[in-house]
Structure 1
Amino acid sequence: MDYRLIVDTACDLTKEMEEDYKILSVPFKIDIDEREYVDDENLDIDGFLNAMKNSPNPIRTSCPAPFDYLEKMKECEEEIILILTISSKLSGSYNSAIVARDEYLEECPNSKVFVLDSKSAAAGETLVALEILSVMSEEGTVEEKIEKIEKYIDNNHTFFILESLDNLIKNGRIKKTAGLIANVLNIRPIMVAEDGEISLYEMNRGFKKSLTKLATAIGKFGDDFSNRTLVISHVDAIEKAKDFEKRVKELYNFGKILILQSRGLSSGYADNGGIVIGFN
């Protein structure tokens, strides 16, 4: 079945993955002080992370506009287009894609365009993208495949471990005094995506302890992972990602484990040193 997949850049992918699977990415824009960063293949991620660390101000993000999605759809020769976005509860990206879809179908009424809310971000959204590629290669109608993908999304699990609380403090998500105390006490929270929203899962002292606790927590969601994939995305923290992979392999039999560097948007919220995992 000929189709094209479009994602926003909350989906952590490498350039090679985009090229191999012919995935089109629609970038977020991220402002740090007076400078705008476009979350595309030209983003200097090291420079971006340094600017974020050195700024006393919170980052400001802008989701793709309907026009941005529309332009990507016009690049597609395929009549079936799937658009995957970050959780609609975290961003307006999903709504932009809906508006763009409706406009596109007015111009191309013979096409079929499906907009999917990943109810996740970063590694979690990447996991859904990989499932889309798998399901779309199977037999069946596109409507049957979309239904299967949506069920997969509802059973997806995304967790974050934060090395730094700086961005949460800057964005007012936690009080500055509480954040500073947490940093002094070496508190490293585990966060979880629940129905598309981010909430606190567990607080631990030390990043390694949080890694161990998170690896153990995976066991609550099953015992046979041989047909499942684990995606680990990290913010300039490859050694932590490999450490987590090692811990997971000691406990479970995941069929595939994929480690990726986070793109700009995910890096902006997971912050330097953070990791995000997604599994089903």
Structure 2
Amino acid sequence: MPGYVLSCCSTADVTRDWLEARDIKYLFFNYYLDGKVCKDDFGATNPPAQLYAKMLAGADAKTSQISAGDYMAHFEPFLAAGQDVVHVTLSSGISGTYNSACAARDQLAEKYPGRRVYVVDSLAASSGYGLLMDKLAELRDGGMGAAELAAWAEEHKSEVQHWFFSSDLTFFIRGGRISKAAGLVGGMLKICPVMDVAPDGSLAVKEKIRTKAKAEKRVVEKMEELAEDGLGYSGKCYISQSECKADALEVAARVEERFPKLDGKVEIFPIGATIGVHTGPGTVALFFWGKKRV
């Protein structure tokens, strides 16, 4: 076994069982629902259907990044036990949690001078972040050391492609990511914006597609264009979705038909509360390994 711990946050939007099967340690983001602190704990506190129903009914939902103190409490037991830590954070283009993790690392360095915490900014989100963690766990299990693993993650993290669309613009408008005027017109015309995660880890609207069916087709076309080895892609593919499983299954079926060498079936996960508070229901996100985001 390696002498270090691989770690991430619950915003990797996989499942508790998925993380534990890969021996990836994790800590939870928090969010506020009508002023009450809740844990982004893979839907244990608020199952997605319940969360979105409350939001659609007018509940005030806000996200909260992990504090430096929380990171210290997470890292310290591993350091005290003589283990280094490779921790990968949610994209700095979406959250300030990377800075909190770095602050915790720096404070603990004085107390544990013989140990190292490597903090990697994933520049990824949701199950794209999870796809990166899957690869890192595989490399760790293959014998890669902590420093080498952190360096590999820095070199290759931008190869995780994120393409997603939403059929419900309510919370993109409420959060200011789409203007009210554009949202009104978009709703009338059945516009589904197709978005990706930019090289700096922020969200970017790339295209405005009329109808959900065309958006489903378009994200798969982007995979054909950008996946490593094109239609010969033999890596893994993840999808995350916010209470629109049928739409996610449709995209998965298209992917499995177009990419016969895929490594297993497309895995579909729920979008967690931290990301879901910003997207609301109706979002499908497709993740795969491909060309570097530039």
Query: TM-score normalised by the shorter chain: which range applies?
Result: over 0.9
What is the correspondence of 1:81-160 to structure 2 with a 5 Å cutoff? Answer: 81-160=85-164
Instruction: Write the deviation string for residues 56-107 of structure 1: whole angstroms up to 9, x where unpaired.
Output: 75x3211000111111113434612111111112111100000111122222
Aligned to 2:54: 51
Q: Distance in 2 between matches of 1:207 and 1:38?
A: 31
Aligned to 2:292: none
Aligned residues of 2:86 and 2:150 also touching (Cα < 8 A): no
Change (3 A) 1:23 1:144: closer
Q: Point out the more displaced range, 47-56 or 192-201.
A: 47-56
Structure 2: runs of 5 or more not aligned = 290-294
Q: Distance in 2 between matches of 1:145 and 1:83?
A: 11
Aligned residues of 1:85 and 1:116 also touching (Cα < 8 A): yes
Aligned residues of 2:242 and 2:281 also touching (Cα < 8 A): yes
Q: How many residues matched? A: 279
Aligned to 1:19: 20
Q: Distance in 2 between matches of 1:193 and 1:74?
A: 32
Change (3 A) 1:56 1:113: closer
1:220 aligns with 2:225: yes
Aligned to 2:242: 235
User: What SS does structure 1 have at the residue aligned with 2:130?
Assistant: helix
Aligned residues of 1:56 and 1:170 also touching (Cα < 8 A): no
Q: Identify which of 250, 262, 266 aligns with 1:254.
A: 262
Instruction: Write the deviation string for residues 239-270 of structure 1: whole angstroms up to 9, x where unpaired.
Output: 21111111011111321322111211122223
CA RMSD of superposed structures (Å): 1.8
**1:114, CA displacement in angstroms?**
0.8
**1:225, CA displacement in angstroms?**
4.6
Q: Distance in 1 between matches of 2:243 and 2:121?
A: 27
Change (3 A) 1:2 1:236: farther
Structure 1: runs of 5 or more not aligned = none
Instruction: Write the deviation string for residues 141-166 of structure 1: whole angstroms up to 9, x where unpaired.
Output: 43223222222202221122112111
Change (3 A) 1:38 1:189: same
Q: Identify which of 62, 68, 72 aligns with 2:70.
A: 68
> Aligned residues: percent identity?
23
Aligned residues of 1:8 and 1:93 also touching (Cα < 8 A): no
1:28 aligns with 2:29: yes
Change (3 A) 1:140 1:50: closer
User: What SS does structure 2 have at the residue aligned with 1:30?
Assistant: strand
Amino acid at match of 2:45: L
Aligned to 2:171: 167
1:204 aligns with 2:209: yes
Q: Distance in 2 between matches of 1:270 and 1:13?
A: 17
- The TM-score normalised by the length of structure 2 is 0.88
Q: Distance in 1 between matches of 2:276 and 2:59?
A: 17
Q: Point out the more displaced range, 22-31 or 156-165.
A: 22-31
- The TM-score normalised by the length of structure 1 is 0.93
Aligned residues of 1:163 and 1:271 also touching (Cα < 8 A): no
Q: Distance in 2 between matches of 1:225 and 1:100?
A: 42
Aligned residues of 2:241 and 2:282 also touching (Cα < 8 A): yes
Change (3 A) 1:95 1:273: same
